[in-house]
Structure 1
Amino acid sequence: MIKEKIEIYLLNEKKKDFDYLKDVEKSIEQLSDNYEQYLSNIDIFVNELGVQKSVEESLGDSIDEIKRILKQKLGNMENDNLKFPSDDYITLISRLSEIEEECKEKKKIKLKELNKKTENINVIVTGSISLEILENQSIREELSSIQYEENECKKQEQLNEEINAKISKLHKNQSDYNDFKIYLNGVFESINLHIRLKSDETTQNYYLYHDLENISLNIKDISEGEKNLIAFLFFYFELFEDEKQETIKSNIKTLIIDDPINSFDEANRFYVLELIKKVLKSKFNQIFIFIHSWNDFCDITYRLKGEDHNFYEVYKDHQGTSFLEKFKKVKTPYKKLFQEIYELSRKSQKDIVEEDCYYYHSINSIRRVFEEFLSFKLKNSDLAQKSNQPEIEEVYRKMTGNEMSNNKKIKLGSFLTIINVLSHKPYRAIDVIGSAKFLMRYIEDVDKAHYDAMKD
């Protein structure tokens, strides 16, 4: 058993020695090739680079001897008497490396000398030519004439470019406005608006025209909503490369639209709303739309989902500082107001901050929520009025099965007075909070399911 292990060990050691000697053999072959190249170019190294010629040429015999011994050893690894001359090998490698480094250094020095000579020759040639030009009158005059002609040509080229640019701009503007005229008139005809944009071929000016009354119109003759519609349609038209409004202009990366539909009547509002939705589907890098109405916000964001869209609301604290709040789900205008009043109802006297402007618009919100809630319970269009208190008490009786107590009737009367009278004059914050509390209690008593669905 021990003998077998020893034999295995010896075999492994011989294998390592063999592999090492094979690597040495490859190195020797490479050294032999390099040395032969050196000898074949020895005259260049000596005469051109200044390498000192000495006995190095005889190193070839040493290389051949090492190669011979190495070949014998690799052929008979069992012969322990045959030793590889490692010391001679190291000495040979060292000497050949010195020769190689000397050749590289001499070559570097020679190249530097040649580059310096080339630079000197260029300086001499350039100086000679310049001197000849300065001394030759006819050459100087010819050069001056050439320089003048070049400057004149450059001036004419620049002038031509400016004139062509102006011509192109005039053509483009005329073409763009004419295309817009066709587009605008088509839109106005489709929404039954009897205003047209026309052009005077003589003056190249554009003017508004009423197609039923056959009269020209000044800008002051049309309504503010019509002005806004023309302005928005021009803005929309300019977003596209083509007259069919299909290809977005490549230089438009970011789009910002502020309150686009708030100033239109219902007919025009829905048309512009569809244009906004089309813009949102277009391939802009970023689109920012600022909305000042919750109804408009809900209409624009209807069915907008996914990671491509983000929704924010701007709030102000009692010091007037604005901040953004991001939300994922869009609420209906009624639910939005309901939750604001619900949060208000949870406040108390100690929560009131004198500088807080929140309370100044809350009475109107309370009345709007109450009117919306009663619209599903009463037929009367004048809903949240003091004169309708008996009907409101009857809603309470029908929905709860109980008569409203005298105390609640007094609170209801006070509540109706506050949300109608105080919405037009200054009021105390505590009265607003009290009204919010009464409204939430009333809705919870009358329709608990509705109350729970709206507050969360």
Structure 2
Amino acid sequence: MIEKIKGITIQGRCFSNSTTLALYPNPNDRISVIYGKNGSGKSTISTGFHNLTSEYPVFDIDLKLLDNANSELNSEDYKNNVFVFNEQYIDKNVKIDDDGLGTIILFGGQVDLQAEIDKHTVLETQRKSEWENAQEKLTNYQVKNNPLSPEYHLDKIRAMLKKPGGWSETDSKIKGNKSNSAVKDDVLFEICRLKPSDTIDNLKKQFEEKKDLLDKISDSSLSFSPLPHDRIHIEDDLEEIICNLLSQTIEKPVLTEREKLILAAIQGGRQHMVEASKDSFANESTTYCPYCYQPVQSQYKHELLASINRVLNKNVENHKSELAAISFPWMEDNYSQYESLDSVLVKEINSQKEKCLTLIDAYKEKIKQKIGNIYTPILITPNGLKAEITTFNALLVKLKEKIAEFNNAISRRKKIIVELTTINKEIAHFDVLDLYRSYTKQDKDKKTQEQKVNKAHQDYQTESQTLRDLKLKKSNIGLAISNINNALEYVFFSQNRLSIELRNDKYYLKSNGKDVLPKNVSLGERNIVALCYFFTQMMSNQEISKLYQSEALVVIDDPVSSFDFENRVGILSYIRYQVDCLIKGNQQSKILILTHDLTTAFDLRKAMDEVASSTKGIAQIKQTSSILQELKNNQLVLFKRERNEYEQLLQTIYKYANGEITDCDVTIGNVMRRALEAFSTFNYRKGIEDVSCDKNVLSVLGDRSIYFNNLMYRLVLHGESHYAERVYSLRDDTNFYKFVSDNEKKRTAKDILCFMFLLNSAHIQAYLQTISNAIENIKKWCSQIKDNSSFSVKIMPSSKKEKFGCTLFRYPLAKEMILMIVFRTRNTILMTQIAILH
């Protein structure tokens, strides 16, 4: 059935008139790649195919299928055999919700797993018993009154620190506190882990001396902490903004009688009731009016919601958002702790604070009124909040100065207290040292047992998961998960980079083994998941042994250019694999791939040609061909195999070198390699590594031969060497371009064009004649290249004494620099070049 499809007629959007497009013009064409610039109509075509399968088609696009005689086919006959991957598919199947992608189940082909299930059921019981036994042993380390427990020894350390005359009592006396200092865990471990600065006897002597000195210093109150905020910030135009928003008039829309009643309710201060009604009737399960309890029809609900939305228009919502977004200064600091410092000043600060808060509350009340009656402007003038806050800030400055003055007066006393506190801790360290050693031993033993428990638990969980997986396979659920995850692993070259887990009949995304919401995944990753999901969904409700055997027309719109570039190789490889399976699975199936990226189009043509060629000699599969066409001016034009691609490559190199395009920084090396490889092979039967070093080529270059002989452009080009092999062997070295600057790549592009122009100017003129000023610019670039005299070595006059000289010539090129080192003695000149990575 699919074999009858040759082309389409389409009308809508980019195709103002009914247009016929031959997608598969040749009898054996089964794979069609279409390149088209943005706006050429590719998405219109994919949307048209989507209409064939959708319950909710886009009505401004009409697409019909045509057979070999350009007769219209019945689209209904193909509805279940057309599969379209485009943005509409992604929106529907990946953006459904934030916790799943849906369910795919494959039937049949499962083996009998009961024996394995029985085996792992026994193993699960054993692992659980081992885990429980390990937990029971761990309990001995967790009971405080058991000497095996680390807590048992910690309690003894606490008791030692709390004893009369111990650390706790001494610390409180140093600080002048009435009650003993608390023995918190952080203090306890600090004391235990200290490395005392002296012996116990010397520490006790130092303590007594400093304690006597402290007693001689007059007693003083505690110091005051700095102000939480020593200045309250307020925008200069805040009050003006508030007054302007309050006075803003929202125009009333032209309303029906019912909408006028809704507006009257809003103006009467009942806007909250209107919004509550909107929320209630927007609920699909609402069948009765929540206010009068009469049944309501679906049409009535939709009309009522439309009326409410018309009254509560976008301007209203925006205005409410602006009002709600007004932010007032934070003035909730408590100044009571400073009353003992200056009660009069603190009282004045609190009074001024209340003034400011009163003015803020007044503004908030007006804002609340305006939000409640959005169509009625409120005309007020600034109430002086800015001035009052300025006064408040001046009072805070006074308090800040008083705090600093007081704290400086007692700083000397504080220093002695700190020293005594430290010595007291060091003395306590010697008291608890033996107990702490017992604690560390038991803590180590406890952690060892915890590791045993964790390992036993992990073994139990692993066995339980194995058992669940076996049961999942037996029930024919989970094969879809395996397929999707295999595809994701194929694309990312990593097992855990992105994966999907089935829980509660929903697919959950996991990144590097952790749960992640789809909204937190990059756009490229989301689209890759969608592509893998797309091919898996195609196989739903099929027996495993019959996958790919159903005929299908698969349409893929921009599969590569919309993804993260670092996954480009994986995507190309995955598409090639799926196309190969589809083409060989059913000899009627056909593929249509649309792309706006020229490099992708060429890469796809290479891959699709390989798939087509691989069908030769396979029984029951007729010979298959692929075709690359360009969608231009609402017509499909065949891409010429050689000249068209080569011309496109040369024009791309020129535009990049001239700064006309900047979106191919990553792929330009591959473009330059292809063009130069074609030029050098055709003209000189040399590879790109040898052409600039060939004697015959250098002779044609004449006075610029030294420059090109040492031009290491091949380093830039080598980054994408053997690109096709790397695509299909799943290897990528495109990270090379992170180390090559844009200027270096542009310079290399210019040098390559100059190199080719100097060797064959007519050749370059023929391919770039459609670009204005191209030849003039290349000639200018050629004139800027140094001639051979720039690299010549001048022989210095010799003398009686042997002289030695060394001249360095530096060529900054691509990823290397070339040092031309000239060693000179009296009668000998030795030249060498060294490539040094920088």
The alignment's TM-score, normalised by the length of structure 2, stands at 0.22
Larger Rg computed on CA atoms: 1
Give the structure with the higher percent helix: 1
User: Relative contact order, CA 8 A, sep 6+: which one is greater?
Assistant: 2
